[in-house]
Amino acid sequence: MDVSKQDFVVRDPEFRARVQGSFDRQGFMKLIGAEITGLEPGFCEIAIDHRPELTQQIGLFHGGVMGTLADTACGYAAYSLMAAQDSLLTVEYKLNIMGPGDGERLSVRANVVRAGARLTVCEGRLYIEKTGIEKECGLVTATMMRLPDTSDMPD
């Protein structure tokens, strides 16, 4: 039997600069020190190094940092497929934390699973790196909404 996978359509050939520009305008990404480490049509990876400012009560990566990276990576995976004049917003995301954020570096790799006219569904995996070994530590699914003809910049 044939399985029909969705082919991703790149509506904006300048999507890399558009995504990076949007990311750079996020004050929260600067505060926490996250960076985009991978970007393809329908895919985004974001990573962050451990610092005491990013921890929960026993010194591991805070669940909120995991959620923030997960939401953001899903958002930009979706945004990579949108048109130059679109903006987007997060409808919802769910994060399953599968292991402690115990390591030097946290990263999220998010993929678009389905890009609809309005809604895009993404899935991502979170990885924690400790002494050179990476382990999956989280699973995220998210719904993003395209806002046609909406500025992605402040007023």
Contacting positions for a copy of itself (CB under 8 A): 1-6, 22-23, 25-28, 30-32, 51-59, 62-65, 67-69, 71-72, 75, 87, 89-100, 113-114, 116, 118-119, 121, 123, 127, 129, 132-136, 139, 141, 143, 145, 151-155
**Least distance in Å: CB of 14 to a copy of itself?**
16
Q: Which is nearer to a copy of itself, 40 or 136 (CB)?
A: 136
Tell me which long-range contacts 28-37 makes (C-beta under 8 A, separation of at least 24).
Answer: 28/68, 29/72, 32/65, 32/68, 34/68, 34/69, 34/72, 36/76, 37/107
**Least distance in Å: CB of 96 to a copy of itself?**
4
Residues 6+ apart with CB under 8 A from 151: 87
Residue 143 in tokens:
């719904």
Q: Which is nearer to a copy of itself, 83 or 113 (CB)?
A: 113
Q: Which of 21, 76, 25 is nearest to 46 (CA)?
A: 76
**Least distance in Å: CB of 11 to a copy of itself?**
19
Query: Cβ(34)–Cβ(26) under 8 Å?
Result: no
Q: Which is nearer to a copy of itself, 40 or 102 (CB)?
A: 102
Residue 95 in tokens:
């994060």
**Least distance in Å: CB of 129 to a copy of itself?**
7
